[in-house]
Amino acid sequence: MPRLALAALLALLLWGCSNSSRSSGDLRSTKERKAAPAFTLKDSSGAAVKLADYKGKVVLLNFWATWCGPCQIEIPWFIEFEQKYRDRDFAVLGVSFDDDGWISVRPYMTAHKINYRVMIGSDHLSQLYGGVDALPTSFIIDRSGRIAATHVGLVDKRDYQNEILKLLEDPQAALDGAGAAARLALLVRPDQRPGRP
Amino acid sequence: MTGTADAAVALQLREGYHVNSNTPSDAYFIPLRLTWSPGPVEAVAVLFPKPQMEKLAFSEKPVSIFTGSFEVVTKFKAAAGAPLGQNVVTGKLRYQACNDRMCLPPRTLDLSLPVEVVK
């Protein structure tokens, strides 16, 4: 029988290659905010989800995957936020980075009763958002479509909640939002301006 | 003489990071996998160390993981009629790493192991 002589050891370093965790903690000032890159993706029902259509709303854009433990902690919070604030011009959008796409994501959505829209991400989308190399990564987007906060890694639920509420209650941001501006125009008709006879 | 030999793949993780074990505690987690392509030698067994069960910041229950430095050992057997001499066996190591707060995408590393089949 032939014998084997092996180079007996392969040594590998499995480095975590992510950037260190970065989390803004607070909302960026309006001047510091940059526009959230536009995208159009399909949700689990096949309907197109266009980020631009959410102008006027506060959006929590969450990049996640079914295999990501910290993401699993956040998802029930997002379900709660969606339920609690959807009537106040707020929406959660989930973007999964599972390699096998809907094969893993659809059953997960059903099992966890996810009540917000979920799409499948791509390398291109990741690059648009600065190269998302760790999950979860979430972006809090103001009513004008600008990124007000970025969170990489698991964040305290209260941080999310405070940021969402601040943006929902910020009158200046509301004025910037297209949807809100349209509503104000309806409320203040020319013949109702103060001081007009 | 037997026609078998062991080869160890030594892994070292960055401090604070872990990989899921070969038997993750959550069905959604991606297990550590080591596979070898068929060739003049065949892998008859891949042996992982005993996983650690640790409760992490994001887990309600302990999760089955590997941390620090550890080895995965493969038992190889020369295939019947394997040609004598130098050869290379190739494999793939699939892993997915996280720390307490975030996870990195799954990665697959290509491995290549020089082997010599002798009389």
Q: Which of A14-18, A64-68, A182-186 has the highest mean pLDDT?
A: A64-68
The nearest CA of chain B is from the CA of A65 a distance in Å of 9
pTM assigned to the model: 0.84
Mean pLDDT, rounded, for A50-57: 96
Q: How far apart are the first and last CA of chain A?
A: 108
Using the predicted structure, report yes or no on whether residue A2 has a pLDDT greater than 60: no
Mean pLDDT of A6-20: 55
Sheet containing strand A3-6, edge to edge, reads A3-6, B107-118, B85-95, B33-36
Mean pLDDT comparison of A156-160, A172-176, A179-183, B85-89, highest-scoring range: A156-160
- What was the ipTM of the complex prediction? 0.89
Q: For testing the chain A interface, which of B28, B115, B118 should be mutated: the one with the most A CBs within 10 Å?
A: B28
List the single residue in A8, A70, A104 with the smallest CB-CB distance to B103.
Answer: A70
Instruction: Look at residue B53 and tell me whether its pLDDT is greater than 70.
Output: yes
Of A2, A9, A99, the CB nearest to B8: A9
What is the share, in percent, of chain B residues with pLDDT greater than 90? 70
Pairwise CB contact (< 8 Å): A67 & B9 = no
C-alpha–C-alpha distance, residues B52 and B32, integer Å: 13
pLDDT (average), residues A52-64? 97
CB atoms within 10 A of CB A122: 14
Which residues share a beta bridge with B117? A4, B85
Cβ separation of B4 and A104 shorter than 8 Å?
no
Check CB contact under 8 Å for B13 and A108: no
State pLDDT tens for residues A122-176. 999 999 999 988 999 999 999 999 999 999 999 999 999 999 999 999 866 555 5
A53-67 average pLDDT score: 97
Helix axes of A69-85 and A157-169: crossing angle, nearest 10 degrees? 30
Check pLDDT > 70 for residue A185: no
Predicted local distance difference test score (pLDDT) of residue A123: 94
pLDDT of residue B58: 84
pLDDT in tens, A69-122: 999 999 999 999 999 999 999 999 999 999 999 999 999 999 999 999 999 999
Q: What integer pLDDT is reported at residue A3 of this predicted model?
A: 58
Q: Does the beta carbon of A41 lie under 8 angstroms from any beta carbon of chain B?
A: no
A124 exposure class (CB count in 10 Å sphere: 0-12, 13-18, 19+): exposed
**Mean of pLDDT values over A190-196:** 44
Helix intervals (H) in A42-177: 69-85, 102-111, 123-128, 157-169, 171-176
pLDDT digits (tens, 9 = 90+) for B10-19: 999 999 999 9
Q: What is the pLDDT of residues A139-154, one digit of tens each?
A: 999 999 999 999 999 9
Question: What's the maximum distance between 2 C-alpha atoms anywhere in chain A?
Answer: 108
The closest CB to that of B28, out of A6, A66, A135, belongs to A66
Closest CA to B81 of B42, B109, B25, B53: B42
Could A9 and B7 be called an inter-chain contact, meaning their C-beta atoms sit closer than 8 Å? yes
